[in-house]
Amino acid sequence: MCDKFSNINCCRLSNASSSETGSSSNSVSINCSPIDCFIVDKFKIILNCNEKEAIKMDKVWTYIAKNIFEIKKSNTLYNQYNTTNIKHDLPNACIIRKTNLRNYLLSYTKSPKIVIIGEAPGYKGCHFSGVPFTSEYQLENNLVPFNGMRSSINTPYKEKTATIFWEIMSDYYPRFFVWNCIPFHPHKKGNILTNREPTKNEILTFSKYLKEILDLLDCDIIISLGRCAQNSLDNLNIENDYVRHPSMGGKSEFVIQIKSYF
């Protein structure tokens, strides 16, 4: 089995715990601080890069933690950072997913010049990993350039899109940063283990958060991965380059288009 990134030294969750709020439903909110529950050191120590770059990535993390983590889920939009499902998640799943995302940000030794914006988390990917375009399987098997843990009870989920993405993009890391225009998992009502296309209203609602993150990253090039991401960025009047999404038979076109930027 490939162990491409086994020597990456990033922070990992250790003996994390949380208290669940009383609830008879399958999904419960976790009562924990979005920042204080992580076992990490200061950015400029772990990143081993100049202070300016460390501060930039720290600002991105702080913004996400303060403005995105605590948004309430809906019947069809699952906030994987503050909600767990007793049928599918480990008890401390929200902390694991936050820590995985934190590790992703900590892994950047320099500021990326390109940002790639996707559509939204899928249930086999970011829903359980907490990191865009990344699956639990990749975290458990050191197939991505940062450490992480699974948050699901069952065998780690493996997502085809995430597999294709990192197979191609690992050679270009850390020259790019990937995020979604919708940070939470859109699913069909009554079944969180499904995917659905985000609505126009959801794209509009989360566009302000997307713009803030892009402003903090201050990248030279913004790539929209798929039409949903393109529409979101166009609505914000943000210049972007469209690239074919790798799913649904789009791998070959994605590979050709994305290589032109690196």
The C-alpha atoms of residue 84 and residue 92 are separated, in whole angstroms, by 8
Output the pLDDT for position 56.
80
Is the C-alpha dihedral spanning 234, 237, 242, 245 positive or negative? negative
What domains, with CATH codes, occur in the chain?
53-259 (3.40.470.10)
pLDDT of 203-249, one tens digit each?
999 999 999 999 999 999 999 999 999 999 999 999 999 999 999 89
Output the pLDDT for position 4.
55
Output the pLDDT for position 22.
33
Output the pLDDT for position 129.
98
The C-alpha atoms of residue 60 and residue 217 are separated, in whole angstroms, by 7
Output the pLDDT for position 220.
96
The C-alpha atoms of residue 49 and residue 231 are separated, in whole angstroms, by 35
The C-alpha atoms of residue 150 and residue 229 are separated, in whole angstroms, by 27
Q: Which residues of 60-85 are buried (b: 16+ CB within 10 A; e: fewer)?
A: bbeebbeebbebebeebbbbbbbbbb
Name residue, tokens 């290589």.
259
3-state helix, strand, coil split of the chain in percent (to 5) is 35, 15, 50
What are the structure tokens assigned to 192, written together?
């969180």
pLDDT of 100-156, one tens digit each?
999 999 899 888 999 999 999 999 999 999 999 999 999 999 999 999 999 999 899
The C-alpha atoms of residue 112 and residue 126 are separated, in whole angstroms, by 21
pLDDT of 30-72, one tens digit each?
333 333 344 334 333 344 445 666 678 889 999 999 999 999 9
Q: Is the pLDDT of residue 18 over 90?
A: no
Output the pLDDT for position 50.
57
pTM of the model: 0.83
Q: Which residues of 220-257 are buried (b: 16+ CB within 10 A; e: fewer)?
A: eebbbbbebbbbbbeebebebeebbbbbeebbeebeeb
Do residues 172 and 164 make contact, with C-beta atoms less than 8 angstroms apart?
A: no
Q: Which of 19-28, 82-91, 126-135 has the lowest mean pLDDT?
A: 19-28
Output the pLDDT for position 1.
41
The C-alpha atoms of residue 187 and residue 178 are separated, in whole angstroms, by 21
Output the pLDDT for position 55.
74
